[in-house]
Amino acid sequence: MSLDPSARYGAGQFPCVNELDHQALEALQAEAARSAGVATGFSDPLRSGGHGPALQVIPAGQFLMGSSPREFGHQSAEAPQRYVTLTRAYALGRYAVTAEEFARFQQASGWRPRRDLIWARGRYPVINIRPADARAYLQWLSQETGQRYRLPTEAQWEHAARAGSVSPFAFGDSVSCREVHFNALFPYQEQRDKRRWYLPRCIPMPWAVEVGSLPANRWGLHEMHGNVQEMTATPWQENHGRMDAWGEVPGDGDNPRIAVRGGSWFDPAVAARSAARRMRLLDELDTNLGFRVLRELD
């Protein structure tokens, strides 16, 4: 697909978020929320009491997906870079699903973690669960709220993570531990500049931080970069070549792999870029793998 904005399909119908300033992005988000009859940030009540995960409305629009070969850290899996149009607004979890949120599902369903695995508590991201466990939670959440919850697609995840940016990170061309929780031994700036010797500016931490510990992007989402890798609903493909103009990938039958996004506390900062992607198996679990909910708005 052409990278010339004037050649994009439907350019007059859906705004290109990469061309909007901060104020215009907020206005677009607010209008999407008004059209859906919800606040920009909201949560759904649960039938059993309390509320589900905090959500942020993400507007429809066009965005530039993937990375250029000129971007430091670029991998062939992030190509081809292309404009993708998402025609429907949606709501995405303000944070990764936490252990205390997942505990409501555990109590209701009788689901139990394996005793030999590390388990999170409180407002730390839930870890050591498989994609099937995440889907079971989302099905329960849908029943509890009467709304449609699922995992985001890769395109929906990247659109939300970028929040209108075209830089490697939503925060700009580089990041520090003040914005992103990555493996402090492998910061982005130092790796990009090929410095052989440096003092880590952060204390390495062998675990995730509590959700909301780091700044939000322009659409109010926290820790889209780093902390824990996040599952998507998209089957793993070697690159974006099979993705259509709407961010959809053809069904792949018995594909046992999914794409995960965002990097984690275990990964170098380069793996936390908006375009970075990794493959995980459908039956895989890990101490740096979690998920974020998507709630449909129509």
pLDDT tens readout for residues 114-126 = 888 889 999 999 9
In 3D, which of 113, 93, 114, 154 has the Cα closest to residue 280? 154
In 3D, which of 72, 103, 82 has the Cα closest to residue 187? 72
Number of domains comprising the chain: 1
Q: Using one digit for the tens of pLDDT, what is the confidence trace for 10-52?
A: 445 899 999 999 999 999 999 999 999 999 999 999 999 999 9
Cα distance from N-terminal residue to C-terminal residue, the chain: 28
Distance from C-alpha of 162 to C-alpha of 158, rounded to nearest angstrom: 6
Comparing 286 with 201, which gets the higher pLDDT?
286
Task: Give residue 2's pLDDT band: very low, low, confident or very high (50, 70, 90).
Answer: very low
User: String of b and e for 139-159 (b: at least 16 CB within 10 Å)?
Assistant: ebbbebbeeebbbbbbbbbbb
Q: Who contacts 98 (Cβ-Cβ below 8 Å, separation ≥6)?
A: 53, 120, 122, 123, 124, 125, 126, 211
Percentage of the chain modeled with pLDDT above 70? 92
Percentage of the chain modeled with pLDDT above 90? 83
Q: Which CATH number belongs to the domain containing residue 155 in this structure?
A: 3.90.1580.10
Look up the domain containing 206 and give its range.
5-296
